[in-house]
Structure 1
Amino acid sequence: MINPVWLRTFCTLVEVNHFTRTAERLHMTQPGVSQHIHKLEQQLGHTLLERQGKGFALSNHGERLYQRGRQLLQQWQGLEQHVREDPEDEGVVHILSPGSIGLKFYPQCLELQQRHPKLVVDYRFAPNLAIEQALVAGEADVGLLTELPRHGELLCQPMAEEALLLVTSSKETAISWQRLLELGFINHPDGAYHARRLLSANFGEFESVSQLPVTGFSNQIGLILEPVARGLGFTVLPETAVAMFPQKKDIRSHLLTHAVSETIYQVKNKHSAELARVRFFEGQLRSLFSTKV
């Protein structure tokens, strides 16, 4: 394999056409330039320069080496520049969040991408545990969680607070523990976590989610309230998910004695590369979130 330092010296010499000026340009000595050329000729087994008094001319082999070598040096320079460059508004950012957050935030991400067309937003919905696992495995740049991460590899900071709501069909005007047992629970990927937080604060009879008969399940955030609207059960969801349900006349959010909110955390792997586009995206996150989602 040709030494790229020797090749750079050779190509520079061809372009400058003077040993002393080549040495000055490359911050070398003139004997050092001659040594690089000699090593190249030894390695290739061909004369590259035909000396003509104080000057020189390229041999056939020297001409072929220069033409191809210049292309390679330009490619290597481009590769180095590409590796060094880290534009903040170009490249892919992988983000994961629960669906309730994504309903509101994903459209804002698309608006960001419209303003910065070279920034590609790869946004996926997942429950909290799956997001943690993806961040630990290095499969995501940023995660938005609604509970504190358990893994020591993860760094997090609180971003916002969002209320949890108990939702039934619009036909239900009053709610009691007994009525919840009769209705049954419409579960979802974060349903047990949401229900435990809200119900334990408001119903003395509550001990665990296993007390509730499950009458349905959906992992599609936009569909969780469909069975609720049809009177097939109740559920507990963040306020954003309830607000974005199109058939609002068919559901009812019940005001309970003790309001409960969940914190939204911005989370990343502390060992992940510090990419400019990820820092830029995190800054956009902070500007988009207010004290309340």
Structure 2
Amino acid sequence: MDQQLRVFVTVADRQNFSRAAEELHMTQPAVSQYILSLERTIGTKLLERSNKYVRLNKAGEIVYHHAREILGLYTRMQSLVDDLMNTPSGHLTIGASYTYGEYVLPHVIAKLRKDYPLITPTITIHNSTVIVDLVATRQLDVGIVEGEYVNDKMCIEPFADDRMYVIISPGHRLASKQEVSIHDLMEETWIVREEGSGTREAAEKMFRQLQFQPQKRMEFGSTQVIKESVEAGLGISLLSYWAIRKERQLGTLCTLKIAGTPVTRDFSLVTKSNEFQTRALEIFMDLIRSHLPEGSHV
């Protein structure tokens, strides 16, 4: 059954039998046979097929969701057994929000690979809400997220804080002002992240604390695009110190001094509550706790 599920998930992800067969190192007829066998076991068709695409139907979406969780449990079980006999090794699925994942996590992974070369990490970068959901459904072993979360079924461990600053381009009209008023901020176009992002949550928190709401907004799903847009003079934004440190050193971005800033938020480790942890996961989490980003504090 586990092989049937693995083949099914791969076909669903690739939306193509040929590409799935290539990834699985199987023939296309063998992949088709696995899918037919799974559909007979479940008792219904799971995929819509045409000459142009392969898509999940409603039943397929249900099976796909649970198949990902089942395969994750199987991999975790095998890793736990292997841990009893061997040095730290195995596959580790890690998720991280954009800020930590793009600007801090690569340094942690480099140390992990240097010290424990038998541990093989796979990284998923997404906004914080998605990362929490993927950990909850066991599609990730561990997540690193920004902001505040409360969930009885999840273990959420703050391990560092991050400081966030309002940023502008050096040529911006506010760059030369010693004091920036709320009125000044209200007149600006604010470039913010999408809903579900920890960075967006921090910006909304700042707006509430300063008691104003921007009338002009632009929303982007990438921190890098926001930085480029601010540099180009399209507006202002609130971003992590860690994300803007290089630009500040180069002088391509400036920070504003505003009462109530910098805004602080937590970086947190997220795992399933009451779950066995592999040695690989324990090692990774210890590395995270000891690798505090510059400008962050326990």
Same fold, TM exceeding 0.5? yes
Contact residue 88 and residue 280 of structure 1 kept, 8 A? no
Contact residue 80 and residue 278 of structure 2 kept, 8 A? no
Q: Deviations over 1:243-285 (max 9, x none)?
A: 1448842221112222321111111111433211111111111
**1:85 CA displacement:** 2.4
Query: Partner residue of 2:16?
Result: none
Q: 2:191 aligns with which of 186, 191, 204?
A: 186
Provide runs of 4+ in structure 1 moved above 4 Å. none
Contact residue 88 and residue 279 of structure 1 kept, 8 A? no
1:108 to 1:273, Cα distance in 2 relative to 1, 3 A: same
What is the distance in 2 between the residues matched to 1:273 and 1:154? 13
Contact residue 192 and residue 203 of structure 2 kept, 8 A? no
- Whether 1:119 and 2:122 are equivalent positions in the alignment is no
Unmatched 5+ stretches in structure 1: 1-80
Q: Which amino acid aligns with 2:155?
A: L
Counterpart mapping for 1:128-147 below 5 A: 128-147=128-147
SS for the counterpart of 1:179 is helix
Task: Give TM-score scaled by structure 2 length.
Answer: 0.62
1:251 to 1:245, Cα distance in 2 relative to 1, 3 A: closer
- Whether 1:262 and 2:262 are equivalent positions in the alignment is no
What is the distance in 2 between the residues matched to 1:223 and 1:124? 19
Q: Deviations over 1:133-169 (max 9, x none)?
A: 1111111111112223233210112101111111111
Q: Deviations over 1:54-109 (max 9, x none)?
A: xxxxxxxxxxxxxxxxxxxxxxxxxxx98732146311211112121121222221
SS for the counterpart of 2:233 is coil
Q: CA RMSD in A?
A: 2.5
Unmatched 5+ stretches in structure 2: 1-77
1:221 to 1:120, Cα distance in 2 relative to 1, 3 A: farther
Max Rg structure: 1
Query: Partner residue of 2:220?
Result: 218
SS for the counterpart of 1:278 is helix
Q: Which amino acid aligns with 2:99?
A: S
1:83 to 1:289, Cα distance in 2 relative to 1, 3 A: closer
- Whether 1:282 and 2:285 are equivalent positions in the alignment is yes
Contact residue 93 and residue 142 of structure 2 kept, 8 A? yes
Query: Partner residue of 1:238?
Result: 240
Aligned pair count reads 207
Query: Partner residue of 2:152?
Result: 152
